[in-house]
Amino acid sequence: MRALWGATHPGPTLVVTVLSLALGIAAGVEPARLALLVVAVFAGQVSVGLSNDAIDGARDAAVGRTDKPIAGGAVTPQRALAVAVASAILAVALSVPLGSGLVAAHAIALASAWAYNAGLKSTPFSIAPFVLSFGLFPSFATLSAVPPALAAPWASVAGAALGAAVHLTNVVRDLDDDRRTGVRGLPHRLGARASVVLAACGILAGAIAVFLGTDATALGLVFFVAVAAVAVAAVVVVFVRSPGRAVFQLTMLAALLLAAQLVAA
């Protein structure tokens, strides 16, 4: 069980699950429905993480990623994939009591994420699943509410920008390993520096969308300034030194601040 959990990408899984909780609370989803939403999102993220590592098991082993349970032999790809499929089915099933709108949105987001894992990651369109899935994500909360509704356009724009930034920034750390195993997604074609700049610009665009789409408040202004400052700092640093851990951390901090701004709005 410990090895399986380690193959789910626990960090992102928990962050996305907590974000669904925060967005649900902000949208006024009643407790029982909110609990279902959070568990459904958690199950979906488990399926995405496990399928990613199950499909990439041989590739991870080839570049010495023995820190990963499947590449290290602690879990077989077949077992991980079986649990991933079961988790995806559970995620959709748990969405059913919350309405057809959420079922459709969740199913589309999961199909998009699985498509990335299954091969889109190696194409120029690798960013598309992140833009689609994260763009839909703010609507998970509003579709779970009564009455259900799609999230405001500014929220979807912010979600899509967040997803794009996560993809562009996260892949930067593994560019060399990915190239050696034949993975050539959009960030690999752009290069590390251009990917970070594009991610920062996307985050800034998302922050502007949230700021302009909501009522001007002191809290909203604080979040906007914080996101903008960190995003600009990431761009400055990437031109001053080679893209490394500091740039990655700055860009991810800007992304987390954008997520907080979205919740606060």
Predicted confidence (pLDDT) at residue 65 exceeds the cutoff of 80: no
pLDDT digits (tens, 9 = 90+) for 2-44: 999 999 999 999 999 999 999 999 999 999 999 999 999 999 9
Q: How far is CA 134 from the centre of its chain?
A: 6
Of 52, 63, 176, 43, the closest CA to residue 120 belongs to: 52
pLDDT-derived band of residue 177, with 50, 70 and 90 as boundaries?
low
Predicted confidence (pLDDT) at residue 174 exceeds the cutoff of 90: no
Average pLDDT of the residues in 222-242: 90
What does the alpha-carbon distance between residue 92 and residue 99 come to, in Å, rounded to a whole number?
11
What does the alpha-carbon distance between residue 43 and residue 109 come to, in Å, rounded to a whole number?
13
Q: What is the pLDDT of residue 62?
A: 79
Average pLDDT of the residues in 81-105: 98
Q: What is the pLDDT of residue 205?
A: 94
Q: What is the DSSP letter of 126?
A: T
Q: What is the pLDDT of residue 176?
A: 66
Predicted confidence (pLDDT) at residue 175 exceeds the cutoff of 70: no
For the chain, what is the mean pLDDT? 91
Domains parsed from the chain with CATH numbers: 1-138 (1.10.357.140), 152-265 (1.20.120)
Q: Is the dihedral of CA 76, 82, 88, 90 positive or negative?
A: negative
pLDDT digits (tens, 9 = 90+) for 97-152: 999 999 999 999 999 999 999 999 999 999 999 999 999 999 999 999 999 999 99
Q: What is the pLDDT of residue 41?
A: 98
Cβ contact 129:113 at 8 Å? yes
What does the alpha-carbon distance between residue 202 and residue 199 come to, in Å, rounded to a whole number?
5
Q: What is the pLDDT of residue 238?
A: 85
